[in-house]
Chain A
């Protein structure tokens, strides 16, 4: 499965994503510079985390205008897998590929720690191998992960099975105490109506090796391998 990791000026989890899919998962991967338009036949697009354009103005606001985003949108429109991680999630919402917006954590602080998330659906290419109700331990590292959308959109997302991960406690129960940033409905990750575009705040690439304290995150990348590519 060919992976492409998009690199924006300021991206800093690009190498981590590359490492996870190329060296840990052992799949072909390449970087695509944001000024390019050619995704080079990649099947899975990763929009990595970091601080594209320094998070200036709003996280993801400036990156969404990069030339490559048109190709990412086409890829998404064709129903192919796209995952936006952390800043990548922010970029996908700014670009309108996912609904809603991410704003400042209620604590107003950057938070870096491990959290638990509950998988709500197996319908995305990144969760095919994860059962609904399963709990994963994944790291977060963000200052603007507080998901918001209007009530109507939220209802639609629930209706359409678009909420993919919710923050929860170690037992799998979503709760305000387990929600690190105040996000609506304890949302940690959502997908588009088609299910092929996933955005999430936690960093699966940082939880892809036992040596680093856990490998639950690898399962998201592994899941894509069982997706038949048309």
Chain B
């Protein structure tokens, strides 16, 4: 049936060069009953690779809970959608752009932002907020400075231009990322809950329409080198790094949202990884239909592009949509007004096949389901391995009398210090909805025309996952939910980026599986379904994998935006207290991980233990207390334990002027273990003394511990032992100076 195809032949070697394994090649041959054409081979390589097929991860991802009363759209679409009441919904998703950002930090990060924005407005939502979760190598590694500067400028360059505020994120440093940084970007958008658009190509005869930037040879990856043999002129067409055009994307965003107000659109999907190939195949796959694409009609910006190149180009700022028959004119009219290319490039068919034609010839004729449902799926071997010592390295550290220097060291470390040199490069206020500047536990965005606010956070602790993937996974979800609860928000649902090493290594798959199981347990216990997500494997350099780094992005809802708290102390003389699980000590001396890392460069032991039941109770109490107006501030304990949480609450007070006087509650273990230990399920709160009775009652009624530890005070932070011996007393200006200077050398 493909008699007229004139491309060169393909063979096993070319398939291997495309990253297709030998058994996968056999599978293709037996499915087709012939050799694939070069363009078909390119399509297989794109659709069957890890990024599109999730072939190593699918069996594990199935474990996540994905439904709930508010879930309008779970995983499988461009983004998840969750109902927030009042006829509104929030669409959100997180994506990684790790490898491109390491090669070209500015453009890699910028196009990462562009990609996730398209995922959101494809759903019919207007993007309202971006968050970025970043991991760099050691602060003193030779490339770190360059990468930090480039990535941050790239996120700023794209997000600021398009006018979506970047409202929060996280930034971490660890030598395991020296050769493979992580750039994960999350976007949330608002939409009407009854106007969700999906990536489906239904209705035979409906036109397939290409809108957005013309196609060039951008990002046709290593595979294209193998294709050079197919065409003599291909040799000088080297693959190129994608450059983002945020201005064009802004136009695309406005044009798409305007078009979606009409009922002309049947399905729409952005062209992300594997561009035209994946958008066409996935849209047909979801609808159970077929597609014909006529490449001669695809707008292009370079001469002489081959079908192979058209199908695999990753040029940015493009979308594919299916419109109702006869509605082409309306689509054209809108895109012309926004000065954007628009072209009818094919139509929907009912034979379940993807056909690609050019110059009157057929270059592709494949059953869609071979590319989607029948893509390979692997149960890769797993074998847990422990790479870090099992003993808690705290014991190897001499215990100091004066804990002040340790606190200053933690605050002055790039991972623990002030991140404003990063987020002040982001326009975090555009759209006038941002209720708190970045720097707190959760970012808060008001929802205009309602009393509501959305809360958002990203969290992940690779060290915990390295020490114990299962517990690390639980802790990541619990911390994200806790960050939302500490701002007064009810966690609704989550997305994730699962950044792992090479899945062909059993130790990596064991980490992956363990982390997912832990996350799943926490999702179930905290009633937070997973509605979207992304897997990034092969994060490795020279055969060494990064620490397993699942990043959780979570969205919560505050019904009345006036009832919220920040992390900073607000008033002198307020009571400082801790909410904690009632059946545990307020501050067990355990796992002072960040402290030992910063002071001694050692890691080991176990991540903090966690009871999900108690975690849920602590969060409920915190939210209710905020809802009843009892709290002045709330801040969860995480890296650096109570010591860092206290310091951060002081630093986030007005003018960083409020400190506190605190006595550590009685308990077993070392003083530094109490102060810097990273016990889970704890929230540091401050409140007016008149409110303490009520909070104590609320906590008791919910089986939650409430322990007062001191008072806020002007100008200094003093912490003493249970018997009144001072651990340190530091003027706020010293804390501020250490904290402010932390990123100094890097930006």
Contacts and interface: CB of A to CB of B under 8 A. Distances in A.
Interface of A: 9-10, 12-13, 15-16, 19-20, 50-51, 53-56, 109-113, 139, 141, 143, 203, 205-206, 208-209, 211-213
Contact of B156 (A54, A110, A208): A110
Given A9-B251, A54-B247, A113-B424, A211 B561 contact: yes
Contact of B160 (A20, A51, A56): A51
B364 interface: no
A51 B163 contact: yes
B161 interface: yes
B338 interface: yes
Given A110-B427, A141-B427, A206-B432, 11 more contacts: A9-B338, A9-B339, A12-B250, A53-B247, A54-B246, A55-B247, A110-B157, A112-B427, A113-B420, A143-B160, A209-B432
B250 A10 contact: yes
B338 A16 contact: no
Contacts of B446: 211
13 contacts: A10-B251, A12-B430, A13-B430, A15-B431, A16-B431, A51-B250, A111-B425, A112-B424, A113-B420, A141-B160, A141-B429, A143-B160, A206-B432
B379 to A, nearest CB: 47
Interface in B413-453: 420, 423-432, 434-435, 437, 446, 448
Given A10-B161, A13-B163, A110-B156, A54 B435 contact: no
Contacts of B251: 9-10
A157 B157 CA distance: 33
Contacts of B427: 110, 112, 141
A208 B162 CA distance: 22
Q: What 9 A-B pairs come out closest when comparing CB atoms?
A: A12-B163, A54-B247, A51-B161, A141-B427, A16-B432, A112-B427, A110-B425, A110-B156, A10-B247
A17 to B, nearest CB: 9
A212 B429 CA distance: 9
B338 A212 contact: no
Interface string B117-156: 0000000000000000000000000000000000001001
Contacts of B426: 110, 112
A209 B432 CA distance: 9
A208 B163 CA distance: 19
B245 interface: yes
Contacts of A19: 432, 448
Nearest to B339: A9
A19 B432 CA distance: 9
Given A10-B247, A211-B435, A211-B561, A139 B163 contact: no
Contacts of A110: 153, 156-157, 160, 425-427
A121 B246 CA distance: 38
A139 B427 CA distance: 10
A208 B427 CA distance: 17
A48 B219 CA distance: 36
Nearest to A53: B247
A110 B425 CA distance: 5
Nearest to B245: A54
A55 B246 CA distance: 10
B568 to A, nearest CB: 13
Contacts of B435: 211-212
A53 B247 CA distance: 6
A103 to B, nearest CB: 17
A122 B50 CA distance: 63
A13 B430 CA distance: 7
B160 A205 contact: no
Give the residue among A12, A15, A20 with the most B Cβ atoms within 10 A. Answer: A12
A111 B160 CA distance: 10
B556 to A, nearest CB: 19
B425 A112 contact: yes
Contacts of A109: 153, 156, 425
A13 B247 CA distance: 14
Contact of A54 (B161, B339, B430, B434): B161
A213 B435 CA distance: 7
B425 A12 contact: no
B250 A111 contact: no
B246 A112 contact: no
A13 B448 CA distance: 15
Contacts of A113: 420, 424
Nearest to B338: A9
B79 to A, nearest CB: 21
A15 to B, nearest CB: 7
A143 B448 CA distance: 28
A205 B432 contact: yes
A9 B162 CA distance: 11
Contacts of B437: 213
A55 B448 CA distance: 28
A16 B448 CA distance: 11
A112 B428 contact: yes
Nearest to A108: B153
Contact of A206 (B153, B429, B448): B429
Contacts of B424: 111-113
Nearest to A141: B427
B338 to A, nearest CB: 7
Contacts of B246: 51, 54
A10 B254 CA distance: 10
Given A19-B448, A51-B246, A110-B156, A141 B161 contact: no
Nearest to B446: A211
A109 B251 CA distance: 25
A13 B160 CA distance: 11
Contacts of A51: 160-163, 246-247, 250
Nearest to B159: A110
B339 A12 contact: no
A50 B429 CA distance: 12
Nearest to B562: A211
A110 B106 CA distance: 14
Nearest to A205: B432
Contacts of A50: 163, 430
Nearest to B747: A109
A56 B247 contact: yes
Give the residue among B250, B251, B338, B446 with the most A Cβ atoms within 10 A. Answer: B250
Contacts of A56: 247
Give the residue among B430, B437, B446, B561 with the most A Cβ atoms within 10 A. Answer: B430
B430 A141 contact: yes
Interface string B443-469: 000101000000000000000000000
Nearest to A12: B163
Contacts of A143: 160
Contacts of A213: 437
A44 B529 CA distance: 49
Contacts of B247: 9-10, 51, 53-56
Contacts of B339: 9
A53 B248 CA distance: 9
A40 B314 CA distance: 44
Contacts of B157: 110
B714 to A, nearest CB: 18
A111 B423 CA distance: 9
